[in-house]
């Protein structure tokens, strides 16, 4: 299992479009993906759950990835976040 932290760095945070991109990437992998914080972890493949985190810019989120393709899944998610969800700011 991979357990890491990611910081949301895009201007608008994990809003609807960014959440949809996150879920799209997460859903393309077989691994179980959970995201959140110590108070609340949610299914990273559920758009409603991810949006309910209401993660604004600067929020640190815990991510847990478990499965056969966990390394690839985490790398793809980390790249998406570091690329600011491909948004022009």
Query: Which active-site residues does the annotation give?
Result: 15
Enter the tokens of residue 84: 């600011």
Q: Is 58 helix (H, G, I), strand (E, B) or coil?
A: coil
8 Å CB contact between 13 and 59 = yes
| Neighbouring-strand partners of residue 4 | 63
């Amino acid at each position: 299992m991979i357990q890491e932290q990611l910081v949301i760095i895009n201007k608008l945070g994990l809003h609807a479009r960014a959440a949809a991109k996150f879920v799209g990437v997460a859903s393309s992998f077989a691994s179980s993906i959970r995201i959140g914080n110590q108070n609340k972890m949610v299914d990273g493949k559920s758009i409603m759950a991810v949006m309910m985190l209401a993660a604004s810019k600067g929020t640190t989120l815990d991510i847990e990835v478990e499965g056969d393709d966990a390394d690839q899944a985490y790398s793809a998610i980390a790249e998406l976040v570091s690329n600011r969800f491909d948004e022009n700011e």
